[in-house]
A and B are shown apart, each in its own frame.
Chain A
Amino acid sequence: MRDLTAPRAGDDVASVSEALIGEVPVGEVPVDEGQATAAFVQPGQGADEEASPASAGTWRRLARQRGAVVAAGWLLLLVLAATLAPWVTLHAPAAQDLLHSFGGPSASHWLGTDDLGRDVFSRLVYGARSSLQVSFESVALALVLAIPVGLFAGYRGGQVDNIVMRFVDGGMSVPPLVLALAVVAALGPGANNASLALAIVFMPAFTRLIRGQTLAVKEETFVEASRSLGTPPVLIVARRVFPNVVSTIIVQASLTLGGALLAEAALSFVGLGAQPPSPSWGSMLQQAYSTGLFTHAWSLVVPGAAIAAGVLAFNTLGDGLAAALGVGRPSNGRRRRWGKSRLSRGLTRVDRGPVTAPPAPRSPDGDTSRDTLLSVEGLRVVLDTSAGPVPAVEDVSLRIGEGEIVALVGESGSGKSLTSMAIMRLLASPPAAVAAGQVTFAGQDLLSMDLGELRRIRGRDIGMVFQDPMSSLNPSIRVGEQIAEAVRLHERVARRTARERAVQMLVEVGIADPAARMRCYPHELSGGMRQRVMIAMALVCGPRLLIADEPTTGLDVTVQAQILELLRRLRRERMAVLFVTHDLGVVADLCDRVAVMYAGQIVEEAPIDDLFARPRHPYTEGLLRASRSAQDAIGESAAITGSVPALGRRPAGCHFHPRCQYAIDLCRTVDPPLVRESGRYERCHRAAELTLRGVA
């Protein structure tokens, strides 16, 4: 529920935590469904839950993180020991016993004694007092100052905000420890002055964080609603804005406490923190260093370890809280389901289990009309989700002959893109894995190849055009180089030759002034040009098969026609194409055959003219009527009602039955088999009896 403010607020959390922990986010790519959908939760809904960050769910999420729980336990123990110091120690921290200096651990001195024979354990416990006190004081003071300033600046905005932010920037431009030292230099040494100095150090970062959060929350509808009701600003900030900022403050406070502990130790190490005789961890370490370095090196261990463990605990707790409260980026708390050694980079895992025999070829008589280039038999792709493995592609079979253009058509979510990428084994594992099937390209089994073997086919024999060229092109490499790279990966040619080939290819996809475009970065090109660069990259090595996922979407009509013409010409040079699209209209005059996919299955496959004239599956009929050119032909608009079922929610029986107007009881229970009849296939119980409407 927190996610409604997280995307924007996250940036600021990071900018502050970068100052303390040192981590910044890259553009988040949602990996699993939960994460992707959480970003779209409507603002109003979450408002109430957010008001109480310490809800039961938060505690549960926190309790699930073992590290954070251990850290919290350790900190609690420290605080208790520090508070109850006189009762948990056997000796006064300053009691000297010069006869037993540097004594080892014993029943009376659990951690031994220091150079003056003082009990190390007592000093550690009493030291925790001043170390923790300075940490908590400084963070609390910084918050007391930063919360009102940050809320005010963020809510008010304008000139006030500007001025406050200039001071914040100024404060943050001084190296933190240097600032603390400078302030202590003016104020004089001592624990209280150290607290004050550290508060001054932490305040700018807190202010910036709270101000940023306020800015984000201010624009939310529930705040604007209060505003329009005439609620006084102070009340809006107190009741509506502040509760939404609390989670972030808690996380940041925990991380800052770690920094405070570290800084306090540094100050007292150089004698500027707690003054003798009251011990602190930093001064204990200093003492051990100046007296025991050459003779009793182990005395250095205890105070340093105490500091490190404390800082580690605060940091771990902060990370845990961030994950539990959903603040900022999902940090280490994000558990992905990748097991050890299962990870295979750049190559979809094939996990066909104990394969007995390859599935029987779909058409025993074979397709005699052309030589088969690519054959996919019984392909099954499984995705690992938080709810367990879910089939995404089920028993897909396809056959593409040399020089043949086959369209793979379906709505989004039908599994057509997954299928096209599974052929090249480009799906990331995890979450994806090929669970069954055969993929044969020019007589070679792609599913049993290793990366080295497959590399020689990728890009050279099979070219691939992806959807969304903006994200599919490398943002930091010139497009010309990206195209030329494809050539140089497969052919021993000079850099210049590769570049010339790239220019030539850009001309073929219809890019004007190609030499100049070569030097552009993707962000400098228009969407249509990026799309054509993508196509040029896939074609530059002259592949025998092009797998193109929506290659003409986003191109204007003339360019689209140009690209289709290029594909037609290349077909005459025996290039085959698997054309993945949602729009039957685009491929109508180009393709030889069409395979229609629905919910992970191929539901119908036929030569293009037959399919258009006489669809045999109700889904195909619906697609035809929804296709734009078909609409023009029949003069009516008709979309299929409902939508493709989500992964893992595919109904029993025929996956299409809930949306099918012809469904009978049999369709609801039995998954229909793929049936071959006179050169076409369909997956429908009622294919024989129904007469469906095509387009002329």
Chain B
Amino acid sequence: MIRLVLRRLLVLLPMLFVVSFGVFLLVALVPGDPAVTLAGGASATPETIANVRAQLRLDDPLLAQYWHWLAGIARLDLGRSLFSGIPVAHEIAARLPVTLSLVIAATLVAVVIGVPLGAVSGLRPGSTADASARVTSSLGLAVPNFWLAVILVSLLAVRFQVFPPTGFTPISSSFTGWVQTVTLPAVALGLAPAAGVARQLRRSLAEVLESHYVRTAWAKGAGTTRVVVRHALKNAAIPAVTVLGVQIGFMLGGAVIIEQIFSIPGLGTYMLQGITGHDLPVVQGVTLVFVVFQMAMSLLVDLSYGYLNPKVRVA
């Protein structure tokens, strides 16, 4: 197991290196003179422009800039916001738990809704329950999460005031407050992944139930519950977990928009602030954190294979 983790890390670290270069190169995509554009365009004062130029070392050769930036990252220094001057790493450290708790809640929603939905249809392919579950998951994958979010707000926060329309209570200050504020965004964010998980689980469960080893379980005299829970679900879960891992990547992107709708002070709102303010260090820093976040998720998925599929453990 430890070897598996080490091997995965050996793959992920060079990949992170490649990605970091890509993220750094964003500065090369900025149109015109980056210093001028980032300082606010034509209206910027010469001092701000010079300030930006100095801070991003725009006069250095590109590779030197990259090296400097990378050396900073190694010290957990992601630079400073071009406007507030606050270190990006500080801001991220304060906001990461917020986004983390949102994504975890959304993952919970995805599992709690997706697994039963997929199991119901996988157990009885062709039934009415299956047909409606399939329609639901097709819709779930097509409905934009931000639309779902605004509909939820207008129904459950404005019309029936069950939840607050915006705002966020950190889990550390009040758990019930957190549940209240995180429910709507988590549902909005988690429904598409739930549909993805359901779709995959339906397919793999239906297949596993036709497998020879499930037939062996029947032949031993196992009942339906035992066959499904003990013999089928674990094997059928492997592809579903893969899907969930991929979907978590989508959720990170979705969280940016969802946080904006609910005014949640997480990484997403920070990134959007950075984008609208042309604050490149902020955008770069958050992007890099999101990448690490997703890599950690894929590592977790790989580890779960080790639990679900004993063959992986020796590999």
Q: Which residues of A contact B (CB under 8 A)?
A: 18-19, 21-29, 31, 166-167, 169-171, 173-188, 258, 262, 265-266, 269-272, 285, 288-289, 293-294, 297, 300-301, 303-304, 307-309, 311-312, 315-316, 331-332, 336, 338-341, 343, 345-347, 421, 424, 426, 428, 451-452, 455-460, 464, 466, 468, 471-477, 485-486, 489-490, 521, 523-524, 534, 537-538
When the two chains form their complex, are residues A340 and B218 in contact, meaning their CB atoms are under 8 A apart?
no
Which residues of B lie under 8 Å from residue A343 when comparing CB positions?
Answer: 124-127
Residue of B126, B247, B254 with highest tally of chain A CB at under 10 A: B126
A175-B224 Cα distance, complex, nearest whole Å: 40
Supplied contacts A266-B253, A486-B221, A489-B226, 17 more A-B pairs, CB within 8 Å: A22-B141, A22-B243, A26-B238, A27-B207, A173-B298, A174-B287, A174-B294, A182-B26, A262-B144, A270-B256, A285-B146, A289-B261, A297-B158, A336-B125, A347-B218, A459-B221, A475-B311
B17 to chain A, nearest CB (A): 9
Cα–Cα distance between A289 and B261 once the two chains are bound (Å): 9
Bound-state CA distance A471–B250 (Å) is 35
Bound CA–CA A169/B14 (angstroms): 10
Nearest-neighbour CB distance to chain A for B36, whole angstroms, equals: 13
- Contact partners of B222 in chain A: CB under 8 A: 455, 459, 485, 489
Interface class of chain B by DSSP: helix
A176 touches B275 (CB 8 A): no
A175 to B256, CA, bound (A): 11
Instruction: Say whether A300 contacts B287, CB under 8 Å.
Output: no
A-B contact pairs, 26 of them (CB 8 A): A18-B243, A23-B239, A170-B19, A174-B291, A174-B294, A175-B294, A176-B249, A178-B252, A181-B256, A181-B283, A185-B280, A272-B275, A297-B154, A304-B147, A308-B144, A309-B142, A311-B143, A346-B224, A347-B218, A428-B215, A457-B221, A473-B213, A475-B235, A486-B220, A523-B311, A537-B216
Asked if B29 is at the interface (CB within 8 A of a chain A CB), the reply is yes
Q: Are A182 and B283 closer than 8 Å at their CB atoms? A: yes
Contact B207 A26, beta carbon cutoff 8 Å: yes
List residues of chain A with CB within 8 A of the CB of B126: 336, 338-340, 343
Contact assessment for B227 and A26 in the assembled complex, using a CB-CB cutoff below 8 Å = no
Known: A23-B203, A456-B221, A472-B215. A29 touches B210 (CB 8 A): yes
Asked if residues B203 and A22 are in contact (CB atoms below 8 Å), the reply is: no
B271 cross-chain contacts in A, Cβ below 8 A: 178, 181, 185
Q: A173-B15, A183-B26, A476-B234 are in contact. Are A178 and B257 (CB under 8 A)?
A: no
In the assembly, what is the distance between CA of A57 and CA of B11, in Å? 44
Assembled-state Cα–Cα distance A471/B261 (Å): 50
- Contact across chains for B246 and A18 when beta carbons are under 8 A apart: yes
Nearest-neighbour CB distance to chain A for B277, whole angstroms, equals 10
| B96 / chain A contacts, CB cutoff of 8 Å | none
Binds A, one of B42-50, B54-62, B193-201: B193-201
- Is B86 close to A, CB under 8 A? no
Which residue of chain A lies nearest to B291 when distances are taken between CB atoms in the complex?
A: A174
Does B260 count as interface, using CB distance less than 8 angstroms?
yes
With A169-B15, A270-B272, A297-B154 in contact, do A185 and B283 touch (Cβ < 8 Å)?
yes
B200→A23 contact, CB < 8 A: yes
A22, B210: Cβ atoms closer than 8 Å: no
Contact: B311 with A458, CB < 8 Å?
no
Instruction: State the CA gap A175–B247 with chains docked (Å).
Output: 9
Q: Which of B150, B246, B247 contacts A289 (CB 8 A)?
A: B150
Q: Which residues of chain A are near B226, meaning CB under 8 Å? A: 489
Interface residues on B, range: 35 or more
Instruction: From B212, B218, B256, name the one whose CB has the most chain A CB atoms within 10 angstroms.
Output: B218
Whether A31 lies near B213 (C-beta < 8 A) is no
- Given A177-B256, A304-B144, verify A285-B227 contact (CB < 8 Å): no
Is the pair A186, B252 in contact by a Cβ cutoff of 8 Å?
Answer: no
Tell me if B257 and A266 are in contact (CB < 8 A): yes
The answer to whether A346 and B310 touch across the interface, beta carbons within 8 angstroms, is: no
B211 within 8 A of partner (CB): yes
What residue in chain A is nearest B272 (Cβ atoms)? A270
Interface presence of B178 (CB below 8 A) = no
Determine the distance from Cα of A490 to Cα of B226 in the docked complex, in whole angstroms: 13
Q: How far is the CA of A174 from the CA of B231 in the complex (A)?
A: 36
Question: Bound complex: CA of A421 vs CA of B159, how far in Å?
Answer: 60
B219 x A26 contact (CB < 8 A): no
Could you say which residues of chain A place their CB within 8 Å of the CB of B29? 183, 186-187
Contact of B220 with A459 in the complex, beta carbons under 8 Å: yes
List residues of chain A with CB within 8 A of the CB of B147.
Answer: 285, 300, 303-304, 307-308
Whether A166 touches B253, Cβ cut-off 8 Å, given contacts A22-B196, A341-B127, A345-B224, is no
Question: CB of B27 within 8 A of chain A?
Answer: yes
CB atoms of B294 and A173 under 8 A apart:
yes
- B221 lies within 8 A of A332 (CB): no
Instruction: Kindly report which residue of chain A lies nearest to residue B193, judged by CB atoms.
Output: A22
In the assembled complex, how far is the CB of residue A165 from the closest CB belonging to chain B, in whole angstroms? Answer: 11
Quick check: B203 and A315 within 8 Å, CB to CB? no
Contacts of A262 in B (CB 8 A): 142, 144
- What B residues does A186 contact at CB under 8 A? 26-27, 29-30, 280, 283
Bound-state Cα–Cα, A68 to B3, Å:
46
Question: Which chain A positions have C-beta within 8 A of B93?
Answer: none
B142 surroundings in chain A (CB, below 8 A):
258, 262, 308-309, 311-312, 315
- Which chain A residues border B260 with CB–CB below 8 Å? 270
User: Which of B16, B22, B193, B252 has the most C-beta atoms of chain A within 10 angstroms of its own C-beta?
Assistant: B22
Tell me which of B123, B139, B215, B221 has the highest count of chain A C-beta atoms within 10 A of its own C-beta. Answer: B221
CB-based contact B290/A458 at 8 Å? no
Closest to B199 in A: A23
Residues of B within 8 A of A18 (CB): 242-243, 246
In the bound complex, CA of A271 to CA of B260 (Å): 12
